[in-house]
């Protein structure tokens, strides 16, 4: 059972860092980094990428394919109620506060 995945960054193996160097003198390579599988990173992008940079490289390269999974063809809307209330700041001055309340549309 492996406890790592290879970083999915398309250029991970091209970054000039010492921790990517593998091989012996005369046949050295820069290798894709291993990403440890941990409970802490489960279901986050850090389960698949060694860094924010590698994640951005992947997202920029495959953005069309990713968007095709769940394309947005129309705007979404969240029902709200706008409430204006008199409030007082830390120094005792009164001001009008605008609060945006989400309206429960599920009847619960
Ligand atoms: Zn990487």
Expressed in angstroms and rounded, the spacing between residue 66 Cα and the centre of ligand 1 is 19
Tokens of 98: 């605008």
pTM equals 0.73
How many angstroms separate the CA atoms of 79 and 74, rounded? 16
Structure tokens at 43: 């279901």
Dist. CA 76 → ligand 1 center (Å): 34
In the reported structure, the alpha carbon of residue 65 is separated from the centroid of ligand 1 by a whole-number distance in angstroms of: 20
Q: Tell me, in angstroms, the distance from the centre of ligand 1 to residue 7's CA.
A: 5
**Which parts of the chain sit beneath pLDDT 50?**
none
pLDDT value at residue 70: 96
Q: Residue 105's pLDDT is what?
A: 80
Counting Cα atoms < 13 Å in the Cβ hemisphere of 13 gives 9
């Amino acid at each position: 059972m492996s406890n790592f995945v290879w970083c999915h960054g398309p250029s991970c193996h091209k970054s000039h860092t010492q921790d990517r160097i593998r091989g012996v003198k005369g046949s050295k390579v820069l290798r894709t980094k291993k990403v440890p599988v941990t409970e802490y990173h489960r279901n986050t992008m850090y389960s698949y990428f060694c860094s924010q940079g590698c994640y951005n490289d992947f997202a920029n390269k495959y953005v069309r394919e990713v968007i095709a999974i769940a394309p947005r063809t129309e705007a979404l809307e969240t029902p709200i109620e706008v409430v204006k209330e008199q409030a007082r700041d830390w120094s005792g001055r009164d001001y009008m506060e605008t609060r945006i309340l989400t309206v429960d549309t599920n009847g619960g």
